[in-house]
Amino acid sequence: MFTEDDARRRDAADPGHRDLFHIPPATGGDHPDVAYFAGNSLGLQPKATRAELLDDLDDWARLGVEGHLEAGRPWLPYHELLTETVARLVGALPSEAVVMNSLTVNLHLLMVSFYRPTGDRTRIVIEDSAFPSDSYAVRSQAVFHGLDPDRTVVRLRPRPGEDTLRTADVVDYLRADGDRVALVLLGGVNYLTGELLDIPTITEAGRAAGAIVGWDLAHAAGNVPLRLHDWGVDFAAWCSYKYLNSGPGALAGAYVHERHHGDPTLARFEGWWSTEPATRFEMTPVSRPPASADAWQISNPPIFAMGPVRTSLQIFDKVGMAALRERSERLTGYLEQLLDETLAGRPVSVVTPRDPARRGCQLSLRIGGGAGAHALTARLRHEHGVIADAREPDIVRLAPVPLYSTYHDCWRAARALAATLPTQGGDDV
């Protein structure tokens, strides 16, 4: 039996880094702060963000235009302050990673270069449960190239009766039909189920089939360790407002493997920041792009949007993804045990893989009994001070984020679900 005292003891022994973050106050329940499980939608604010952002604002007030070179963190090369930390986060060389734009903008900019349909090799492979924006993006790319998106976009589905993709099935498809695949673009961690796909194995299979392999890492960056360079991934993009805690709509990241740097055959959209920094102010009409991921930049970076990303990346750099992954497995495993014990006899099932190696810090619950995902999460918040995330019609997602979630949060969530969900017989507890 998992007790509240047991949860408190676990927190004392394995505290995480909650003190670095602002925890929202609860509006319901018996606790002053919320138990926050929505970091897979929007991460919490680091306490350091406000002061460091104000420093940048003060430099603008104090220096005006001279802040480009004289600010405490000069604006002209500001994005370079993030390069090494974001590269370490995703397992890239510094030349392979850049912080810029938003996730779907980056995916489109990268597909300009890497989706090159020719002859029979036109297909784009995604997962059937891909986040809608990925579906919209790849379909629009197919249309842009004069192709029928219903025939061009292949949506890989789990086997009947299953919720998650099997790596073997993805590999088998690529072996059988890979000669017609131009691009594989899958989510590293599936937003709906929390499944961590086997990125290195699928990347190897896609490249062996002659396809370009890219990854949407929106739910993977800051969640699971990544080694994009070593795995041979062609390109990737991710947002930074979820696990990377950089604020709503925060700047995103992009990765391009070094083998593509300087390739004159790659089409690429260009702009002010696509050219070599050393010659940028020669104001010539022809770009001279650097042999790095910086060549995919277009515009000068928004400084006040870059500051929160830099602040968050420093936290990850200090704590380390290996330590976070270890705590993630402990915390998510504990929540899983709590749910198994507490919700027995209720119309709920975990659709996230049970194997810790096949998931990030997320458990997705399928709710039966007609409760409705949004109605349930509203009750969890207002009656118990537990913030979870709903995906209609019947999925509730819980993300115990290792940086700031606690074992006591997990205990509260399990108790709240037990108090809110009816038993199979239909009676509330």
Cα–Cα distance between 421 and 325 in angstroms, integer? 31
- Residue 426 pLDDT: 47
Residues 6+ apart with CB under 8 A from 235: 110, 113, 114, 212, 214, 215, 254, 255, 256, 257, 260
Cα–Cα distance between 200 and 231 in angstroms, integer? 5
CA distances from 42 to 101, 116, 240, 378 (A): 17, 34, 9, 17
- Residue 369 pLDDT: 76
Using DSSP, state whether 34 is helix, strand or coil: coil
Using DSSP, state whether 366 is helix, strand or coil: strand
Domain boundaries, the chain: 4-45+320-420, 77-318
Nearest to 39 by CA among 26, 27, 24, 29: 24
- How confident is the chain (429 residues) per 10-residue block, as mean pLDDT? 93 97 92 97 98 97 98 96 98 98 98 98 97 98 98 98 97 98 98 98 98 98 98 98 98 98 94 92 92 96 97 97 98 98 94 98 92 92 97 96 98 96 58
- The residue count for the chain: 429
CATH number of 4-45+320-420: 3.90.1150.10
Asked if 376 and 396 touch (Cβ cutoff 8 Å), the reply is: yes
- Residue 429 pLDDT: 33
Residues 6+ apart with CB under 8 A from 171: 201, 202, 205
CATH number assigned to the domain with residue range 77-318, chosen from the 4 options 3.40.630.30, 3.40.50.300, 3.40.640.10, 3.60.15.10: 3.40.640.10
DSSP 113: H
Residues 6+ apart with CB under 8 A from 247: 45, 49, 241, 308
Which tokens is 8 given? 């408190």
Using DSSP, state whether 33 is helix, strand or coil: strand
- Residue 424 pLDDT: 61
Burial of 224 (0-12, 13-18, 19+ CB in 10 A): buried
Find the helix packing angle between 321-342 and 303-319, rounded to 10°.
80
Cα–Cα distance between 14 and 332 in angstroms, integer? 13
Which tokens is 93 given? 């060389």
- pTM attached to this predicted model: 0.96
Question: In the beta sheet, which residues pair with residue 214?
Answer: 185, 235
Burial of 135 (0-12, 13-18, 19+ CB in 10 A): middle
Nearest to 112 by CA among 138, 131, 148: 138
- Residue 36 pLDDT: 98
Nearest to 90 by CA among 261, 218, 251: 218
Number of Cβ within 10 Å of residue 371's Cβ equals 18
Contacts by 244-248 with C-beta closer than 8 Å and gap 24+?
A: 244/43, 244/309, 244/312, 244/313, 244/316, 245/21, 245/39, 245/43, 245/44, 245/45, 245/46, 245/312, 245/315, 245/403, 246/43, 246/308, 246/309, 246/311, 246/312, 247/45, 247/49, 247/308, 248/42
Per-residue three-class SS string for 268-301:
CCCCHHHCCHHHHHHCCCCCCCCCCHHHHCCCCC
Number of Cβ within 10 Å of residue 61's Cβ equals 8
Residues 6+ apart with CB under 8 A from 384: 28, 29, 35, 412, 415, 416, 419, 420
